[in-house]
Amino acid sequence: MLLHIPGVLTRDEVARFRQALDGATWTDGRETVGPQGAKVKRNLQLPDASPLRQQLGEAVLAALARHPLYHAAVLPRHTLPPRFNRYEGGGRYGFHVDGSVMALAGGGQLRSDVSCTLFLSEPEDYDGGELIVSDLYGEHAVKLPAGDAIVYPSSSLHQVQPVTRGARIAAFFWVQSLVRDDAQRRLLFELDASIQRLTAQGADADALLQLTGVYHNLLRRWAET
């Protein structure tokens, strides 16, 4: 499921992020990928050991924790601490698939079910830089306002187009969902959205109770805890 999550960060939060990131020290983004990824990746990243990465990453996670649409769509179980990247001067990341299993800093591993990019540059501030996600229905170009995020299956083939003017700055991270299967997550999300709309419209309480029971029983059947 490819889904736009608006307003993860406020304008003031984006401004604070940008002020900190514009003065940061960046390193070669190829340091965090394997040999195949290094062949097609040309960008900059905050070093993994950077205190700024930890500080801003915690702020991203706190903002996501307040966002009901994100939780309804992703059903997060474990989240890899966000990283931050910068594309400029022709920087790009060719078509690739994200790694399936990633190491957690405190030990253990995370299965990447959902990938997320949180945009920190306004679309008019740079040329190029579209996130292209390929699925059975074709290729989808994504370029969102600063503070908005896109979530999509980590199994998707995707790329970042070359940035030919300005700088594209973003946070990115991966999530292990309570529900591994993307189709099942989509069904749960659509059912949850329908329940919310019917509730707002004052639908029959008994019918809403029945639908809510269906949602939770499906989640109970599919969730991995």
Tell me how far apart the alpha carbons of residues 109 and 19 are, in angstroms, rounded to a whole number. Answer: 33
Domain 182-222 carries which CATH code?
Answer: 4.10.860.20
The one-character DSSP state at 151 is E
Strand partners, 79: 175
Superfamily of domain covering 3-177: q2cbj1_9rhob like domain (2.60.120.620)
The separation between CA 131 and the C-alpha centre of its own chain, rounded to angstroms, equals 12
**100 φ, ψ to 5°?**
-80, -30
Domain ranges of the chain: 3-177, 182-222
Shared fold status for 3-177 and 182-222? no
Amino acid at 44: L
Tell me how far apart the alpha carbons of residues 204 and 197 are, in angstroms, rounded to a whole number. Answer: 12
The separation between CA 99 and the C-alpha centre of its own chain, rounded to angstroms, equals 15
pLDDT tens-place values along the chain, 225 residues long: 999 999 999 999 999 999 999 999 999 998 877 777 788 999 999 999 999 999 999 999 999 999 999 999 999 999 999 999 999 999 999 999 999 999 988 889 999 999 999 999 999 999 999 999 998 889 999 999 999 999 999 999 999 999 999 999 999 999 999 999 999 999 999 999 999 999 999 999 999 999 999 999 999 999 998
> pTM for the whole thing?
0.95
Predicted confidence at residue 170, as pLDDT, reads: 98
